[in-house]
Structure 1
């Protein structure tokens, strides 16, 4: 008896469901002309968008950082621990690790220096900032405003001499690039391979900017890593030049003192004192110079050891990877989205109005 009632209820439920489906079908069918018109309009809009929309080019540059100083010792221990899933820290001081990497590449200083890098476009040397402005067609609006008409961004310009307006323009370009176009990633913390992706509707700009940014960050990183060693090297070179000059002066003094006592009576020793003093200066400066030369050579070795090797693995090659909405895809997508939107509106109207 219970099974018969359950079967009867199931039949009623299925019948109600079928009736609702038929009711919704009749409801949408009654608006078939409106649906067809909206779908066609949406498809045409999608087709128009696919024609007008410019393709987006993506330049990708991959490089690896090899730092001899960081190898061995505690670095090996940390590497071994990380292979077992243990994080013992110790990597916070490396600007090319973790979040520090993104911050360095995305920093306003690095991006603005990249904008001022020179590039050759149509036979002319201009900055990437000027190339960005031309691509965005800002000049057309600026020419109508006297305050902006004369603004130029020359290649390798002195950033400290920029006006407030120039700073503001660079700030706007920086925000556009970092929010919409630039992406930096490191796939694995244990692998020092870094990917830079730069997207733009201008193929050459994407390529040039990606390469220039890598150059700027690489130069900054190398100079930062070897800064102390280079400062020590400069001090040693100045001291070496100074002692060499003193030694030459002492040698000249010895020769002059010997000339003064030439054929001197051997019993008059007081006249030989200046020559003896100069000889002591020569010996002392010779010993100092020998040590300084040795330290200078050691400093050169230290600089070579502490200067990281940045090797580019893959650089952007024309033609770049392009992302474009095809005409067929735009036609189908536009029609589908328009039809879906109309269906939602009609459902809302039937249920709540």
Structure 2
């Protein structure tokens, strides 16, 4: 019996609380209706502010490149040469991955090294050769900011990066961070595909286009060189060994001919006269066997190098005019008006609730 009484009291309290809430909402709505002129006035002011901001806000130009990256299946291409490789004493093994497997290449695009190398590259914009970083600094008016902050407006970025001082490195680091936060976007539109999309968004159309092209070129070249570096070094070493052994083989062949010419009509009973030519023939046989094995290894290494070389096929590259993100006048008016009404209404309600609590 007592539990029923308590339950009824709880239900009554809930009903009262719900009624109070609904009543409070009704009074708040009525209060806002009474202030409609103030709300509309603020909305119109914010509407004009939004219109002014649409004139002030610079358009953002977006340069986009897309390319397909195909790693390839190393064992798939070398399976037919497995027998030759085993004879040559080479274990091709399986594709064990690499430093750029998966999404690691996306991080390579965002790395300081690649961005710095691209920023310090010279490009032709409007018939004038200039560093991309100088172009970026100029249209963002960074020198004026640096002058006010650290009095370093006369700093330049000419010369090799290895000779840069602490200040130059610090400024480049700040620019790279800005790029990763606001300017550069690298992603895979579809995780199932090997298509990579690179976007550069700035207020300078020419800079966005040239930086995008140069960044894709720089990163993809570095990627290809790194992927094939080990195989390339192996090919160069084997080629050097093959050339060296071939030179020794040629000398041995010349030695055999010289030894035979030294005793053209040797007495068959004097076997010591045939020793020099026999020694040369042994050298020829040994050099021939070694040369044959090295050539086998060299051919397999060349095949491996071709398989290690990734296929990077550019699909789209930025062309003028670029896609532009701009705050239109109508959009600015609408956003300003809605924001003004919402902020004013929320402020009035909050003020009314605060007064109610304090009372």
- TM range, smaller chain: 0.7 to 0.9
Deviation at 1:178, TM superposition (A): 0.4
Superposition pairs for residues 1-353 of structure 1, below 5 Å? Answer: 21-26=29-34, 28-29=35-36, 32=37, 35=39, 37-69=41-73, 93=98, 95-98=100-103, 100-140=104-144, 149-153=154-158, 157=160, 159-261=161-263, 269-353=271-355
Is the Cα contact below 8 Å between 1:115 and 1:127 reproduced in 2?
Answer: yes
1:282–1:321 CA distance, 2 compared to 1 (3 A): same
Residue in 1 that maps onto 2:89: none
Matched residues, number: 319
Offset from partner CA, 1:71-119 (integer Å, 9 cap, x none): 869xxxxxxxxxxxxxxxx997563424x34322222222222223332
SS at match of 2:73: helix
Offset from partner CA, 1:36-93 (integer Å, 9 cap, x none): 55334323322221112111111222111222226869xxxxxxxxxxxxxxxx9975
TM-score normalized with structure 1 length: 0.77
Measured in 1, the distance between the counterparts of 2:96 and 2:256 equals: 57
Is the Cα contact below 8 Å between 2:65 and 2:198 reproduced in 1?
Answer: yes
Is the Cα contact below 8 Å between 1:251 and 1:278 reproduced in 2?
Answer: yes
TM-score normalized with structure 2 length: 0.76
Deviation at 1:148, TM superposition (A): 5.3
Measured in 2, the distance between the counterparts of 1:192 and 1:66 equals: 7
Measured in 1, the distance between the counterparts of 2:236 and 2:196 equals: 32
SS at match of 2:318: coil
Offset from partner CA, 1:298-320 (integer Å, 9 cap, x none): 22222112211111122222211
Offset from partner CA, 1:245-291 (integer Å, 9 cap, x none): 22233234334444443566666553543333223323322332233
1:286–1:148 CA distance, 2 compared to 1 (3 A): farther
Structure 2: runs of 5+ lacking an equivalent: 1-20, 78-94
Measured in 1, the distance between the counterparts of 2:96 and 2:263 equals: 68
Is the Cα contact below 8 Å between 2:67 and 2:196 reproduced in 1?
Answer: yes
Measured in 1, the distance between the counterparts of 2:179 and 2:199 equals: 11
Offset from partner CA, 1:316-353 (integer Å, 9 cap, x none): 22211110001222223223323332333333334434
